[in-house]
Structure 1
Amino acid sequence: MTITIAHLQPIIAILAGVLILIMPRLLNYIVAIYLIVVGVLGLGLFRGL
């Protein structure tokens, strides 16, 4: 099975949700990192993934 971005998004969402439940102060950082990664991928800067 090949792992693609479509496979990673639900895994990342679950991990982020668990981290937010454990440490709510991480919410700002998790959201910021997620938005940056989605923006970079949306621009196509990592076409090889």
Structure 2
Amino acid sequence: MTLSLSLKNILPILALVLGIASIVAPRFLNIFVAIFLIAYALVGFGLLR
């Protein structure tokens, strides 16, 4: 079984990690969300693969 790690596979994992981190440290929720949205937008525009 081969595990291919592309950004499309990493984004759901990143969303899960950031969701858990936002529960643990709610003060940093806006930073976590901003980073995730920027990464998601870059993937959506095709600038990152």
Q: How does 1:31-46 map to 2 (within 5 A)?
A: 31-46=33-48
Q: Percent identity?
A: 34
TM-score if structure 1 supplies the norm length?
0.74
TM-score if structure 2 supplies the norm length?
0.74
Q: Is the 8 A contact 2:15 2:36 kept in 1?
A: no
What's the Cα RMSD here?
1.4
- CA deviation map 1:7-42 (0-9, x unaligned): 212211221111111110111001111111111111
Unaligned runs of 5+ in 1: none
Unaligned runs of 5+ in 2: none
Aligned residues: 47
Larger RCO, structures 1/2 (Cα 8 Å, 6+ apart)? 2
